[in-house]
Amino acid sequence: MSTAVHLDEITKRFPGVVANDEVDLTVERGTVHALLGENGAGKTTLMNILYGLYEPTEGTVYIDDEPQDFDSPADAIDAGIGMIHQHFMLVDPMTVAENIVLGNEPRKWLGTTIDRKRARQEVIDLSNRYGFDVNPDDTIEDVSVGVQQRVEILKALYRGADILILDEPTAVLTPQEVEELFYVFEELTEQGKTIIFISHKLGEAMHAADDITVLRDGKNVGTVKTDETTSEELAELMVGREVLLDPKAEPQAPGDRILSVDGLHVDDNRGIPAVTDVSFDIREGEVFGIAGVDGNGQSQLVEAITGLRTPTDGTISYKGRNITRASRRSRIDDGMAYIPEDRHERGLVMDFDLVQNSILGSQHSPKFSSGGQIDWPGARDHTERIIDEYDVRPPHATADAESFSGGNQQKFIVGREFEREPDFVVATHPTRGVDIGAMEFIHERLLDLRRQGKAVLLVSSKLDEVQGLSDRLGVMHDGELMDIVDPRNTTEEEIGLLMAGERTPTNTSAESPVGDAQ
């Protein structure tokens, strides 16, 4: 088997940071190669070097044993490399065919006019060649996320890519779409294509890859054959210690109802219904999970519960009181903590330092304020406790939030919210962007709250996370709560069907195990 990619002692330095440290990587042609590592391990930087977005400080890129000197992605594309980013780069109002040929349109009449008929046929031929099921006439805004991803892959193939790099390709897919993507991998490699994909999901890497390389602190700490390793061994390579990979909420009897959502309707920013007639309750000592592909109303539901958005109909009760139109501040004062899905928009003020950010939402509390004056030394001590307890790096309390990586920003927000000593936590994608060690820590803290009799609403697009931690699991699609199931007795496939909007009769519906008494 020939070598498609060889990275020879690649080093990339940024001011004050060594992102890649003499990394060697060899990828065989016609294989699927997974790149794993903690947040900040250097995975994306390494792939950006391969794609020509960065130039290495030291080292050489070889394609088919030939040394390369990429000045831009255009050079990498000319060498047969394509990259599909986590956030798709498609034009929503345009058709599938128009997106695929954009910038490389076939022309007629001496190049003065786009040959749309030929472009459409070329897309059909390309799709058929690789077994992709896409309609060239569909507009991007009308197709599923899974189809959009296939369009991105077809864009790269249309430009002649033999080596495809995919950055977190399963992040926004249903389980069924993940399986379809892995089938696409098989089709591509059978035709000689080479795939490198970045993932933090060990199970998916084990399932889809032929070989796996692990980066830690910018270094290659091992490349293994998938059939010769285990998830536990890979996790230990990533973190440098043994890691608990499979968090489970042990059965326990829940207490009184703490939150009730009844017939809730919520509009989005455009005034379009985003949540339709949603009802559920959450009890003390319970983790209630919500699963679903991003963009199916989860954000608007959470904003209504936390006081950031006013519902158009229905009621929200907390601790027996109607809080449907209560202020955000009153909910914080009454023990409701919130880990937002967008840490930049909702979680932090990016040009504030960590001390200032540590008291956001609590600046009026007697714990931090007296006579209208904030106790800054006390806030500094509070911040340093969060930094120490939640391993925020670098440990600089007076550094601006924007100077920290996304994973460390997330750890800081989680620490701030947990340190409020809440009665109820709304945790939205709490482990998004954090490394596997921090993920284990956050999971254990959520389960600690549950054991203490606190209630948790957990919203996550990571099905293994929400399924493993939840006592009951609601599944949302297109603003509706499709069903509430027992995650211990429901398969991933059944949940995936609900996430895709298919109601199937099952025996897995999970009513609250406690009666209606408060």
> How confident is the model over 99-129, as pLDDT tens digits?
999 988 888 887 778 898 999 999 999 999 8
Question: What are the residues whose beta carbons fall under 8 Å from the beta carbon of 113, sequence distance 6 or more?
Answer: 107
User: What is the rounded average pLDDT of the residues 156-185?
Assistant: 87
pLDDT tens per residue across span 418-465 = 999 999 999 999 987 677 777 888 898 999 999 999 999 999 988 889
Q: What is the pLDDT of residues 252-262, one digit of tens each?
A: 899 999 999 99
CA distances from 133 to 18, 208, 307 (A): 42, 20, 42
Which pLDDT value is given to residue 169?
A: 87
Work out the percent of the chain whose per-residue pLDDT is above 70.
Answer: 96
CATH 3.90.1300.10 correct for 3-239: no
Residue 210, judged by CB atoms within 10 A of its CB (0-12, 13-18, 19+), counts as: middle
Q: Where are the domains of the chain?
A: 3-239, 244-335+422-518, 349-421
At 245, is the pLDDT very low, low, confident or very high (cuts 50, 70, 90)? low
Q: pTM of this prediction? A: 0.69
Specify the pLDDT at position 268: 93
The pLDDT value recorded for residue 509 is 54
Give the range among 30-34, 240-244, 392-396, 410-414 with minimum mean pLDDT. 240-244
Query: Mean pLDDT throughout 476-505?
Result: 90
d(CA 81, CA 30): 14
CB–CB of 224/201 below 8 Å? no
Average pLDDT, whole number, for the chain?
91
Assign 263 a pLDDT band (cuts: 50, 70, 90): very high
Q: What does the pLDDT look like over 337-379, one tens digit per residue?
A: 999 988 888 999 999 999 999 999 999 889 999 888 999 999 9
pLDDT in tens, 469-478: 999 999 999 9
Neighbours of 67 (CB within 10 A): 10
What pLDDT is recorded for position 382?
96
Asked if residue 380 has pLDDT above 90, the reply is: yes
Q: In this structure, are residues 32 and 208 in contact, taking their beta carbons and an 8 Å threshold?
A: yes
- What integer pLDDT is reported at residue 59 of this predicted model? 97
- 122-139 pLDDT per residue, tens: 999 999 988 888 999 999
CATH architecture of 244-335+422-518: 3-Layer(aba) Sandwich (3.40)
* Integer Cα distance of 239 and 435 in angstroms: 8
Check: CB of residue 80 under 8 Å from CB of residue 161. Answer: yes
Model confidence at 396, in pLDDT bands (50, 70, 90)?
Answer: very high
- How far is it, in rounded angstroms, from Cα 157 to Cα 193? 10
pLDDT interval class at 86 (50, 70, 90): confident
- Give the model's pLDDT for residue 135: 93
β-strand 107-108 against 113-114: which pairing, if any?
antiparallel
Under DSSP, is residue 336 helix (H, G, I), strand (E, B) or coil? Answer: strand
User: Residue 352 CB: number of other CB atoms within 10 A?
Assistant: 15
Closest CA to 391 of 428, 338, 440: 440
Whether 22 has a pLDDT exceeding 70, the answer reads yes
pLDDT score recorded for residue 514: 40
Q: Token pair for residue 159?
A: 């430009």
Given CA atoms 402, 406, 411, 413 in this order, what sign does their dihedral have? positive
pLDDT at 507 over 70: no
Enumerate residues 6+ apart whose C-beta is below 8 A from 54: 12, 45, 48
Helix 231-239 crosses helix 436-451 at what angle (to 10 degrees)? 100
The sign of the torsion formed by the CA atoms of 37, 40, 42, 45 equals positive
Closest CA to 223 of 363, 51, 28, 372: 28
> How far from chain centre, in Å, is Cα 308?
22
Please say whether the beta carbons of 300 and 268 come within 8 A. yes
- pLDDT score, position 89: 87
Residue 513: pLDDT band (50, 70, 90) is very low
Q: Is 66 exposed, middle or buried (0-12, 13-18, 19+ CB in 10 A)?
A: exposed
Band the pLDDT of 33: cuts 50, 70, 90: very high
3-239 matches 244-335+422-518 in fold: yes
